[in-house]
Amino acid sequence: VAHRCKEHDVWTDAVRKVMVALPRPTKWLIHSYEGCGAAEIKRPMPEMLREGLNHLDRIPFDSALPQIAAWLRHIAAHYAKLPPVVVFVPPNVPAASPLLAADGLSGALVAAKDFGAWGRHPTDMPRSMRDDFCAKLWPLVQQGRRSHRPCPERVVGMGPTATAAYYASAQTVRAVPLAV
């Protein structure tokens, strides 16, 4: 699942190479929530053929909304029929990213089957935000993980310059009620 605004489709070629190289046939579909009207423009035949080969589904989306709104829209629209693993990709992931390497996703799934993240430039969440994080977001994390562990003292995330991508199992996503 990606939110993009007229970015080039080179990274979708990389996704196809990864999926075709997997040890067993795997069904995939790229849902690209397109801002800037890109999904509503008629494209030349070679581009449309490329979209077909890459299993790329372009969905019109309001470019004024943040990237995460596209991810949330996708979860809400497909909550009952999510695939076993959903990957959330930002628009600026380069085609040469380790995420798109042949062992990128499969290697990560071995380490953590339910949730994971890729990115550069990890940063600590500012201490001033911890109380709000623990009060508002940590209960959702506990519910998703089915855990009662206390909120951590240190929370690490991806900074604003990171190209962070995430994956989550359908089971993990559905552990948080859709109403949330």
Residue the block writes with tokens 């009060």 = 135
DSSP string, 73-133: HHHHHHGGG--SEEEEB-TT--TT-GGGSTTHHHHHHHH-SSEEEE-S-EEEPPGGGHHHI
Whether the pTM exceeds 0.75: the reply is: no
Q: Rounded CA gap, 7 and 45, in Å? A: 18
Mean pLDDT of 120-127: 78
- Residues of the chain with pLDDT > 70: what percent? 87
Mean pLDDT taken over the chain: 80
One-letter amino acid of 16: R
Report the pLDDT value the prediction gives residue 31, as an integer from 0 to 100. Answer: 86
CA-nearest of 84, 96, 77 to 33 is 77
Mean pLDDT of 105-110: 68
Note the pLDDT tens digit of each residue in 43-98: 778 888 888 887 888 888 887 888 788 888 999 999 999 988 888 887 777 777 77
- For the ranges 52-66, 101-115, 135-149, the lowest mean pLDDT is seen at 101-115
